[in-house]
Structure 1
Amino acid sequence: MELDVHNKEAILLSDYPDFSQLGYQVIQELGRNQKEGRITYLANIQNSNYKVVIKEFSFAHTSVDWSGLKPYEREMEILRRLDHPRIPRYVDSFATPKSFYLVQEYKNAPSLGLQRNFNLEQIKQISLSILEILVYLQQLDEPIIHRDIKPENILVDDQLNAYLVDFDLAQIQSAKITVSTLAAGTPGFIPPEEQLGYSLTQASDLYSLGVTLICLLTNTRAVDIAKLIDDRDRFNFQKLLPRLNPRFKSWLMKMVEPKPKYRYANAAVALEDIKSIEVSDTATAIETLIAAVKFRKQTTMLGLAMMAMFAVATTTLILSQQGGVAQQLQQSSQCQGCDF
């Protein structure tokens, strides 16, 4: 029986590429995109516990696109420029006669594409974490636009730290379109300006992030996001989230404005704005508390006023009584010896 188990493991391992000559041992397959000819593996660097991700690009499915680069060439070029703790760093690359392989740092965090439930405060924390990454990308000497922000391309660990992956569609903001203006990315997450062939701006990734957050808030899968878009091409999800703070709703709707000029100009502005916004709709509770405080103040003031009036009335009464007694005593003194 034990022999059968080992044989089964041997068969499973034989399905994976052998990178032992290059110093990597594949552990398991993490995912694949059959249409694009991409497979992602988890591997160990031999003789260590250091894990890496090996991304396979099939030459049969790879061609030069609008940027003049093949996807793996662009991703490798972009990753070499980056140094951020929440962007898996470039480690290595190599090729075989059939495929190109890109090796990256492994982050032990599942993607948001998996069915996971977060409360409103946790979603705000994830928002902050992603925006911090976008601020870094947008403040580089040559700003970078990711172009494919969606739940599957964001990893989140147990501490709610977000990691941004898959830069194969990313571009340097100043790069010129040389071949085609066709939009790339995931339907529903592509900003309208890209679909119309206009230049991308730092507000473009904010649209995709806004759509991603709507997925999280409404527990909607990425493939079903079109169900939340109305006939005017605007997102209509507010009725699904009655507990969401109106200010946060406004912030989110500004993120997914169809026209870039009505969105936040960049991630830094959006980040600064969201920091002071409560996610849960606590307005009613706050208003009730304020009303109670005001009522208490009014009651206290009324009580003090009544006490003051009572004190004045009491003093007046005492003084008037004292005056009457004094007058009576004076009259009594004056009338002593008088005959009536």
Structure 2
Amino acid sequence: MELDLRNKGKIPVSQHPDFSVQGYQVIRELARNHEAGRIVYLAYNCQSQQPVVIKEFSIDHETTDWSGSKTYEREIALLQQLEHPRIPRYINSFATAENFYLVQEYKQARSLKTKCSFSATEIKQIAISLLEILVYLQQQVDPIIHRDIKPENILVDEQLNAYLVDFGLARRQSTKIALTTLSTGTPGFIPPEEQFGYALTQASDLYSVGATLICLLTNTHTVKISDSSLQFPKLAPHLHPGFRSWLLTMVQPNGKDRYPNAAVALTALKSIPVTGKASILEVLMAAIKLKKRTAMFALAVMGMGAVAITTLVFSQPGGATQQLEESQSLIDFQ
């Protein structure tokens, strides 16, 4: 989102809500969700001249959960308790006869929805930045699960720092989730356990992170991955097998097969190369972690002849190393 305040005085007032009484002037609309009855505006504070983001909630569209709280009330309550440089902070809120408005800090960053062309190395940097935010959320006394991680809700600045927005579906891990809010995220990014009404864990958001990264790596638009079959496009063949293994671990259907939390996933990712070929040991270890049926194959290969013979075989052009990597790629994407 590039901010340009130079033309703010030229925008007809009739095009946007008038918040002059509340001390804000709308610059332009940033996003709109027709189904949920929500609009996000870029505005500036008339007194401080600082840019802000104003999120509009249509009162007619808002429903209460089992505790009697509305979406915007839950979001405000969470934001007021958070203090992280890459989570836009809560500033203010106000209501009109028809709508409720949440005012947040503006970040000079673009939504991942607007730009999908990143190198694999840049995507890894974005992943690290995003996981750092999740580590913070999960380290709360009662861990917070965002529940709606997708390209639209992630902003990235010029330095590839990620910012996480829209905490409308976020919950404390111990909080009961109303039946009416189950699977209300975006199809394709919702972890299977949420779709079937099972308890969410700190591994639940990791599924959404993995799906988001795969979208970026394959330059796939959100709507094209919004499929209950979860058939992700094949990952680029130039990616390091360890990185592919890490990604596919993130999106395992069974939450117990993913990394247990963001801290573990982050530690694992930092040491993994993004591109290039893996050593035979790395290929075998990745196979063992991803597919149980591959374990027997790995043990058979490890039980091959003497070291000298093994070295000779694996060093030949088009030899076992290449075959194993090709076999691993086939296994990963079956």
TM-score (norm 1): 0.77
Gaps spanning 5+ residues in structure 2: where? 1-6, 283-310, 313-334
Structure-2 separation of matches of 1:120 and 1:111:
18
Task: Check the 8 A contact 2:225/2:232 in 1, yes or no.
Answer: no
Q: Which residue of 2 aligns with 1:278?
A: 273
SS in 2 for 1:20: coil
| Structure 1 residues 181 and 14, CA gap change in structure 2 (3 angstroms) | closer
Which AA in structure 1 matches 2:247?
Answer: L
Q: Which residue of 2 aligns with 1:118?
A: 118
273-282 vs 152-161, greater mean Cα deviation:
273-282
Structure-2 separation of matches of 1:192 and 1:224:
18
Tell me if 1:247 matches 2:242.
Answer: yes
Task: Check the 8 A contact 1:146/1:169 in 2, yes or no.
Answer: yes
Cα deviation per residue 1:218-252 (whole Å; 9 max; x = unaligned)?
A: 0000100147x8xxx454433x4110100001100
SS in 1 for 2:110: coil
Larger Rg: 1
- 1:66-77 to structure 2, matched below 5 A, reads 68-77=68-77
Cα deviation per residue 1:73-130 (whole Å; 9 max; x = unaligned)?
A: 1111110110000000000001001000000000010100113310010000000000
Cα deviation per residue 1:315-335 (whole Å; 9 max; x = unaligned)?
A: xxxxxxxxxxxxxxxxxxxxx
Structure-2 separation of matches of 1:17 and 1:234:
40
- 1:1-340 to structure 2, matched below 5 A, reads 9=10, 12-65=12-65, 68-178=68-178, 180=180, 182-226=182-226, 233=229, 235-238=231-234, 240-283=235-278
Task: Check the 8 A contact 1:45/1:51 in 2, yes or no.
Answer: yes
Aligned length: 275
Alpha-carbon offset, residue 9 of structure 1 = 3.7
Alpha-carbon offset, residue 49 of structure 1 = 2.9
Task: Check the 8 A contact 2:130/2:163 in 1, yes or no.
Answer: yes
Which AA in structure 2 matches 1:281?
Answer: G
TM-score (norm 2): 0.78
Gaps spanning 5+ residues in structure 1: where? 1-5, 288-293, 296-340
SS in 1 for 2:184: coil
Task: Check the 8 A contact 2:186/2:226 in 1, yes or no.
Answer: no
RMSD over aligned CA atoms reads 2.2
Which AA in structure 1 matches 2:145?
Answer: I
Structure-1 separation of matches of 2:68 and 2:198:
18
| Structure 1 residues 183 and 65, CA gap change in structure 2 (3 angstroms) | farther
Structure-2 separation of matches of 1:17 and 1:102:
14
| Structure 1 residues 178 and 211, CA gap change in structure 2 (3 angstroms) | closer
SS in 1 for 2:44: strand
Task: Check the 8 A contact 1:66/1:181 in 2, yes or no.
Answer: no
Structure-2 separation of matches of 1:49 and 1:280:
45
Identity %: 61
251-260 vs 68-77, greater mean Cα deviation:
68-77
SS in 1 for 2:29: strand
